[in-house]
Amino acid sequence: DGGITQSPKYLFRKEGQNVTLSCEQNLNHDAMYWYRQDPGQGLRLIYYSQIVNDFQKGDIAEGYSVSREKKESFPLTVTSAQKNPTAFYLCASSLETGPSQPQHFGDGTRLSIL
């Protein structure tokens, strides 16, 4: 079955450490997205990518970095510059960016500070 796989499900970060969250899709979608969700709040866009080797900052990109070397993969690195990384991180994809394309979400990674 096609879908989006995020790993790990739970992740713990030590002070000063960079961590990378994995997101893989086999839906053959062009566009991919990373969102951050804090308790009781909506989804905030961190980065998105419309095609391979290209990505744009979202609303809260500071302290995060991404790469898009393959169509099916869009890893997110939470750097030590992100001082409050504890949150639920969701990866999504859509066939292409545009107003008529639904976004399909992975099951998320829950990141906490040790």
Note the Cα 41 to chain centre separation in Å. Answer: 17
Determine, following the binding rule CB under 8 A, whether residue 52 of this chain makes contact with other proteins. no
| Shortest reach from residue 113's CB to other proteins, in Å | 19
Of the candidate residues 17, 20, 26, 41, the single one contacting other proteins (CB under 8 A): 41
Interface with other proteins, residue 63, by CB under 8 A: no
Cα separation, 15 vs 41, in Å, equals 25
Q: How far is the CB of 90 from other proteins (least distance, A)?
A: 6
Using the rule CB under 8 A, which residue among 72, 77, 79, 104 binds other proteins?
104
Question: CA 80 to CA 102: how far, in whole Å?
Answer: 33
CB 64 within 8 A of CB 82: yes
